[in-house]
Structures are given as structure tokens and as C-alpha cells.
Amino acid sequence: MSKSPAFQFYAADFMIGIMGMSDEETGAYIKMLSTQWLHGSLPNCKKTIKKMINLRKVPSEIVMRKFAICDDGFLRNERMETVRQKQITYANTMKNNANSRWNKKKEADALAMQMHNESICKTDALHSSSSTSTTILKTNNNKERAEALVLPFDSADFKLFWANWEQHRKETKKPITPTSRKQQFAKLAEMGERRAIEALKHSLAGGYAGIYEPTASKPTTTHHDRHANDPEGGVIDFEFAYTQ
């Protein structure tokens, strides 16, 4: 610990201590106390003290009695050393308290960091699991869409009318399900490309919910064409009415 540059000055005690001293003696006493504080002690020699603190004459006996000869042979004021020890003790206590607070903060920070890292690991694990499940689901959905959109005919005309048919079903709030789409493709493939295109054109023009080939009049609905549990709005998508 570095030396403190200052010491507590107890005015009342000091005034009692200098009773009977002249101003010159009081000045010498103050200089000797200050020298002891800075250097830790005074030499046990009046002439040396006189030169050290630049006095006009050697310290008087009343001043010298304020300093005792210690075991190391140097002079010290007992009260001054008591004040020094109190300062050292207080400084060490403050230092220990600060270190204790710092250590507690480091432990708390370390614990918080550990909990944070564990939380991140758990979150990453959950996210990884969720991402894997989502990826599988997306892959399956993409696979289903790819399989569902294998058109029975590759011509530009068929693709155009089929796209219009899908849009028509969406606009009427009866989108085509993947299962229904497969069955419609199978029926259209059986009809051949020319008849399939004509059936799509006819059904679009009539605003039908199902695909019908053109006839002399509007197709007659039978009990086979409608069903109470039909999710497509009453007309079963894979039923077709056409002229042989």
C-alpha cells in the first residue's frame, strides 16, 4: 500500500497538546510531526532534526518530549503512529470489501452466462428440431405438389385451359384438392387431349364446379353427380357427362 499523503488533524487534541509552547516551539512541533508522517520516523539527534526541518535552533525539551525513542532507535510520536495504523486498517477493510463485491459480481456474471449459454443450447436444439420438422413437411408438400401437377398433356393449349380451370375453382371458393386433381387428370387422359380441352372450355364457359363435355343442352344432374358429403360444392369433380 502506498503512503497516504495526509493525516487527520484533531484540532481540540492539538490545542491541548501545545499548551505551554511558544509559537516557535509549535512550529517546530508541526514540522516534526509532518516529517515523521512522510518518512516514518525522526532521527534521535536534535542537531540532525534542526538541519532536516530547517529550524533556527534545536528543538526544545518540551517539544522533544512529544516523541519517544522506539526499539529501532528512531523517534516517533505515538499518537501519529496510531493515526497511521487506523488509516491502514481502514484502507485494507475498504479494499477487502471491494474485492468481495467484485468477486460476488464475477460469480453472479459467470452464473448468468452459464444459464444464458444453457438457454441458447436448449433454444438451438428446439429450433433445430422445429426446422427439421418444417423442412420435412415442406419437402413432403413440395413433393405432393410436384406429383399433383404432372399434367396429362404437355401442349400449350391444355396448360392454358387447365390453369384457367384452377383459377376458376379458386375464385368460386372451391379449390381443387390434390386427390381430386389426380382423378381429374386420369379422366382427362382417358378422354384424349382434344376432348379434354373442349370439356375444360365448356365447363369454364358454363361456370360449372365439375368438368363436363359439351352437349346439346346443359348437363342433367343425377343422384350420382351430387352427394350430401361432397366437399367440392355439390358436384363431384371426377364425374364426367359426355356423349359417346
Quick check: helix, strand or coil at residue 42?
strand
Q: Where exactly are the structural domains of the chain?
A: 11-76, 149-244
Q: What pLDDT sits at residue 235?
A: 42
pLDDT in tens, 52-71: 999 999 999 999 999 999 99
Collect all residues with Cβ–Cβ distance below 8 Å to 102 and sequence separation of at least 6: none
Indicate the pTM of the whole model: 0.41
∠ at Cα 38 (34, 42), nearest 5°?
Answer: 75
Query: Mutual orientation of helices 193-206 and 156-171 as an angle, nearest 10°?
Result: 30
∠ at Cα 186 (180, 187), nearest 5°?
Answer: 90
- pLDDT at position 224 over 70: no
Cα distance between residue 89 and residue 163, in whole Å: 91
**Segment 115-140 mean pLDDT:** 70
Q: Residues 162, 200: contact at Cβ < 8 Å? A: yes
Count the alpha carbons within 13 Å of 120 in the hemisphere toward its beta carbon. Answer: 6
Q: Which of 10, 90, 88, 77 is nearest to 39 (CA)?
A: 77
- pLDDT at position 136 over 70: no
One-character DSSP codes across 47-84: HHHHHHHT-SSPPPHHHHTTSEE-TTS-EE-HHHHHHH
Cα distance between residue 203 and residue 212, in whole Å: 6
Residue type, 185: F
Residue type, 1: M
Q: Residues 28, 59: contact at Cβ < 8 Å? A: yes
Looking up cell 538541519 gives 51
∠ at Cα 23 (17, 27), nearest 5°?
Answer: 75
Q: What pLDDT sits at residue 230?
A: 44
Q: What pLDDT sits at residue 121?
A: 80
pLDDT in tens, 66-75: 999 999 999 9
Long-range contact pairs involving 222-230 (C-beta distance under 8 Å, separation at least 24): none
The sign of the dihedral angle between the CA atoms of 91, 97, 101, 107 is positive
pLDDT in tens, 88-112: 999 999 989 999 888 888 888 888 8
Cα distance between residue 39 and residue 31, in whole Å: 12
The sign of the dihedral angle between the CA atoms of 67, 82, 13, 56 is positive
Cα distance between residue 139 and residue 132, in whole Å: 10
